[in-house]
A = this chain, B = another copy of it.
Amino acid sequence: MLLHILWVIGITAEGVTGALAAGRMRMDLFGVSTIACMTAIGGGTLRDVILGHYPLVWVASPQYLLVIVGAALITVLLADFLMKHFRVVFLVADAIGLSAFSIIGARVAMEMGHGVIIAIVGAVLTGAFGGVLRDLMCDRVPLVFQKELYASIAVVAATLYYVLDMVGLHENINIICAVLSALFIRLAALWRGWSLPVFDYQGRD
C-alpha cells in the first residue's frame, strides 16, 4: 500500500521528466505523451517482458496511463512555472520514484523465485530503464550510463531489500528501510555530486 503510493508519486515525477525531455526536442503533444509514458512505465515493462511476468501492471490497470498523460499535459502548460518554483520538489519526487521502482522491481523478481542477481536486474530495469528509453527516443546517449549516482542506487536498494527479506523482519519494515536508504543515498549523491568512475577509452578496437 505504502509502496503503491510511492509508485504513483514516481510515475508522475517520471512523466514530468519525460515531458520536459520531449519539449527539449520540440515534440508534438503525441510525442510528449508517449515519451512521458515510456519514461514512467517503460522500465517496468522491460522487466515484466524479460521475466515473463504477465499481464503488465499498466495493461491490467490502464487508468495509470491517464495519470501520466495528465502530468505530461500539465507540464506542457506550466513547464516554466513548475521548474522555477518546484524544481526541488521534482528532484525529491524523482528520487522517491527511483527508490520505490527499485524495491518493486526486486520484489517482482523475488516473488517469481529468483535470487539476488535477478532481483538486482529487476530493480535496475524498473528504476533506471524508463530514463534509458526516454533518452534513446530523444537521440542521446542515456544519462544514466554517464553521469551521477542513479542506477547504482537501484543496485544498493535491491541488495539491501534482499538481505532484509532473508533476515525475516516484517515486510513493511523492510520496505521502509530500503526505500529510505535509497532515497537518502540518492539525495546525498545529488547534493554532493557523487558519481562512479568513468571509463574513457579512445584507442583502436
Is A39 interfacial (CB 8 A cutoff)?
A: no
Count of chain A residues with a beta carbon within 8 Å of a chain B beta carbon = 67
Pick from A50-58, A95-103, A185-193 the stretch touching chain B.
Answer: A50-58
Is A137 interfacial (CB 8 A cutoff)?
A: yes
Determine whether the beta carbon of A146 is less than 8 Å from that of B59: no
List B contacts of A54 (CB < 8 A): 52
Task: Give the contacts of A33-87 with B (CB-CB under 8 A).
Answer: 34-35, 45, 49-52, 54-56, 59, 62-63, 65-66, 76, 79-80, 83, 87
Binary flags per residue of A128-139, CB closer than 8 Å to B gives 1, else 0: 000010001111
Determine whether the beta carbon of A83 is less than 8 Å from that of B29: no
Determine whether the beta carbon of A201 is less than 8 Å from that of B142: no
- Cα-based distance from A35 to B141 in the complex (angstroms): 11
Chain A residues within 8 Å of B, Cβ to Cβ: 17, 19-32, 34-35, 45, 49-52, 54-56, 59, 62-63, 65-66, 76, 79-80, 83, 87, 114-115, 117-118, 121, 124, 132, 136-142, 144-147, 151-152, 155, 195-205
Determine whether the beta carbon of A199 is less than 8 Å from that of B76: yes
Interface CB pairs A-B, < 8 A, 15: A20-B205, A23-B200, A24-B205, A26-B199, A27-B141, A28-B147, A30-B151, A45-B50, A50-B59, A59-B118, A76-B199, A80-B201, A83-B204, A83-B205, A136-B136
Determine whether the beta carbon of A118 is less than 8 Å from that of B27: no
A203-B27 CB under 8 A given contacts A62-B117, A137-B141: no
Determine whether the beta carbon of B146 is less than 8 Å from that of A142: no
Determine whether the beta carbon of A27 is less than 8 Å from that of B199: yes
Determine whether the beta carbon of A29 is less than 8 Å from that of B137: no
A121-B62 CB under 8 A given contacts A30-B151, A140-B139, A141-B138: yes
Task: Add 13 more A-B contacts to A29-B199, A30-B145 (CB < 8 A).
Answer: A20-B201, A25-B145, A26-B146, A28-B146, A28-B197, A31-B144, A50-B59, A51-B59, A59-B118, A79-B199, A83-B204, A138-B141, A139-B140
